[in-house]
Amino acid sequence: MNIRQETTADYVSVYNVVRTAFAAAEQSDGHEQDLVTALRKSESFIPELSLVATAHGKITGHILFTKAVIGRRTELALAPLSVLPAYQNQGIGLMLMTEGHRIARKLGYDYSVVLGHAQYYPKAGYRPASLYGIKAPFAVPDENFMALKLNPSAEPLAGTIAYDPAFGI
């Protein structure tokens, strides 16, 4: 398994990976692949934080972190994380998050926020965002709106996250 930065040559494969990964997901609007396309064209896009997992030359997973504003600070929103069904439960999602977090720290980001499965994301260190003073701009159970403090010495946050307009929030 290899994790690397996505290239423009990967766009069609990534589109299909995201679409396929979310086809049977419990929580999906069916447009996650279109969100990735829209976010790539946004000011929130960070090319270094659009990563793919590959096995035997095939893209098996993708993760995207984009800029989001919390209070007066620019931090990260993780969305979406996609792994082809045949490759799920093999640690690929965790590997993508781990590498994304490493790069995010190197780029100077202090926090990553995710809306997701309450039993999955804590495996990568995510905890309820409310513990960090981060609020969602919509009603959501505390256990599903999570954050990870990437920098242990980061200043505390306080505020509601503002996602890129591509999220439609």
pLDDT tens for residues 41-88?
999 999 999 999 999 999 999 999 999 999 999 999 999 999 999 999
pLDDT tens for residues 82-106?
999 999 999 999 999 999 999 999 9
- Find, among 58, 69, 2, 62, the residue nearest to 32 by Cα: 62
Domain enclosing residue 111, as ranges: 2-167
* Biggest CA pair distance of the chain: 44
Beta strands in the chain (DSSP E): 2-5, 45-55, 58-70, 73-83, 111-115, 127-128, 134-135, 145-149, 159-162
pLDDT tens for residues 146-158?
999 999 999 989 9
Indicate which CATH number applies to the domain containing 62.
3.40.630.30
**Domain count across the chain:** 1
- Find, among 49, 97, 53, the residue nearest to 75 by Cα: 49
CB of 157 within 8 A of CB of 71? yes
CB of 167 within 8 A of CB of 44? no
* C-alpha to C-alpha distances, 77 to 12, 37, 59, nearest whole angstrom: 23, 16, 22
* pTM for this prediction: 0.96
